[in-house]
Amino acid sequence: MKLDLSNVPEGIAYGGPSIGDVYPSLGGANRQARWKVIVGISGGTVHFLTFDENGEVCGSTSYGLHAVEKRYRVGRVTNLGPLHVEWDGAP
């Protein structure tokens, strides 16, 4: 018997932490935080924005990549893309 993995949808297949991955918040200093979303990975560090139960940003945090690899991803933000800046006073 063999498990057919040829049709696993993108977003379910997991190749390690990536931008847009969602994890539950496990407590810590920011008691309002319920969810963490990866917004950046640099070197061996993963950067998150944290969100409260209303979906509002309530903080940020960073963890070592090795620690995030051990966590269970619960979802993925699919429309997290570049932030386009409208500069004040630009010529």
In a domain, 1, yes or no: no
pTM of the model: 0.74
In a domain, 12, yes or no: no
* Polymer length in residues for the chain: 91
User: Which pLDDT score, from 0 to 100, does residue 33 have?
Assistant: 76
Tens of pLDDT along 4-27?
Answer: 777 766 655 567 899 999 999 886
Tens of pLDDT along 23-37?
Answer: 998 866 667 778 999
Of 27, 12, 14, 7, nearest to 70 (Cα)? 14
The more confident residue out of 64 and 29 is: 64
Domain that holds residue 43: 21-76
In a domain, 85, yes or no: no
In a domain, 5, yes or no: no
pLDDT for 83 beyond 60: yes
Residues in Cβ contact with 38 at an 8 Å cutoff, skipping those fewer than 6 apart: 17, 18, 19, 20, 21, 23, 46, 47, 48, 68
